Structure 1
Amino acid sequence: MVFYFKATPEVGDYTIYMGIDKFENEELIRYGIPEDVWFHVDKLSSAHVYLRMHKGQTIDNISQPVLDDCAQLVKANSIQGNKINNIDVVYTPWSNLRKTSSMDVGQVGFHNPKLVRTIRVEKRINEIVNRLNKTKVERKPDLKAEREAINAAERAQIKAQGREKKRREELERLEKERQAEIRSYKGFMVAEKMTSNKDIASGSKSAQEIEDDFM
């Protein structure tokens, strides 16, 4: 079972989600996508909370209200963290999560510690937690199928972009050929068809010749 939440609507349409237990967390780790950001209470047990960012967005331009929503949800779903103030919540891109066979179920590490960010949560804010819980929806998704569908859509988009690029390149090639033909035609007109004043002079009869013809 996966729980889905909606971030504060003032900042746009963002989905936040988390697994029901550590076994579900394993599936979320396996089938995340590059737009997912993982949140967890630092050094304490807590739920694994994910934020699905928008395309092109990075971990460093997530708005503060969205970060607060994710951090509060993580704190509220930590047995220890929910009882104390001034805790740290760490977050990092899903792609930075490292999982090895020697790790326990639900346990993760990081490929690059420099991509891990920290947000300090002074206390639980019930207003935020209650608002998020009102948007809560429980679903049992086929995470593998969802991941494959997203990958297929991305591949189709890349192919479409490739076709569009080739189409533009072909149009540019044809336009260059057309312009070259126009320049060639203009050059032909000047070189072969146009008559210069010199040509006219050389081809005209002199006054004496005209007089001789007349006589």
Structure 2
Amino acid sequence: MVFYFKALPTLGDYTIFMGLDKHENEDLIKYGFPEDIWFHVDKMSSAHVYLRLHKCQTIDDISEGLLDDCAQLVKANSIQGNKVNNIDVVYTPWFNLKKTTSMDVGQVGFHNSKMVRTVRVVKRLNDTVNRLNKTKVERKPDLKAEREAVNAAEKAERKLQLRDKKRREEMGRLEKERQLEMRSYKGLMVSEKMTSNKQIASSAKSLEELEEDFM
């Protein structure tokens, strides 16, 4: 089971989601999207909360309001973190999550600690948490199938881009050959290298002169 929430509409059309338990968290870790940003209460147990950014967006594109929504949701879903003030929430891109066979279910590390950011949550904001909970939807998605569908679409897009690149390169090559051919043809048509019909006529012997030469 995965729970889906909608951020404040004025912040944009963004989906925030989290797994029911550590087993769903494993699948979310395994089948995440490059646009996903992972959130967790620092040094405490909590839900693994994800924000799905739009295509081509990065962690730097997260607005302050959107960051607050994610941080409040992850705090509210931490048994210990929800009881105390002034907690830190860490967040990082999904692709920075590191999972090894020695780790417990739901446990993660980071490939690059420098890509991990921290936001301080002073206290729980009930208005924010209640608003998010009103948008809550429960689903049982096939995360593997969703990820495979995205992979297939991205592969098809790359093939299309490669085909278009090759077509542009071929058109450029043909145009270059045409330009070279045109320059070569123009070189043959230079006036100094040409003889007009008038010049031929003036320099040619007349019929009478040819007869005299023959005689």
Q: What is the TM-score with the length of structure 2 in the denominator?
A: 0.88
Secondary structure at the counterpart of residue 45 of structure 1: coil
Q: Deviations over 1:152-172 (max 9, x none)?
A: 111011001001111111111
Q: Does 1:164 align with 2:164?
A: yes
Secondary structure at the counterpart of residue 3 of structure 1: strand
1:127-206 correspondence runs (5 A): 127-190=127-190, 194-195=194-195, 203=203
Q: Does 1:48 align with 2:51?
A: no
Q: Does 1:24 align with 2:30?
A: no
Q: Deviations over 1:114-160 (max 9, x none)?
A: 11000000111122112211211110000110110011111011001
Secondary structure at the counterpart of residue 83 of structure 2: coil
Name structure 2 gaps, 5 residues minimum.
206-215
1:79-94 correspondence runs (5 A): 79-94=79-94
Post-superposition offset of 1:11: 2.3
Secondary structure at the counterpart of residue 78 of structure 1: coil
Identical-pair percentage: 78
CA RMSD of aligned residues (A): 2.0
Secondary structure at the counterpart of residue 51 of structure 2: strand
Secondary structure at the counterpart of residue 157 of structure 1: helix
Q: Deviations over 1:55-113 (max 9, x none)?
A: 22121221111111110100111111111111000001111111122221111111111
Q: C-alpha separation between the residues in 2 aligned to 1:171 and 1:12?
A: 41
Q: Does 1:107 align with 2:107?
A: yes
Q: C-alpha separation between the residues in 2 aligned to 1:113 and 1:203?
A: 90
Q: Which residue of 2 aligns with 1:122?
A: 122
Post-superposition offset of 1:185: 1.4
Q: What is the TM-score with the length of structure 1 in the denominator?
A: 0.88
Q: C-alpha separation between the residues in 2 aligned to 1:6 and 1:180?
A: 60
- Runs of 4+ in structure 1 displaced over 3 angstroms? 202-205
Number of aligned residues: 202
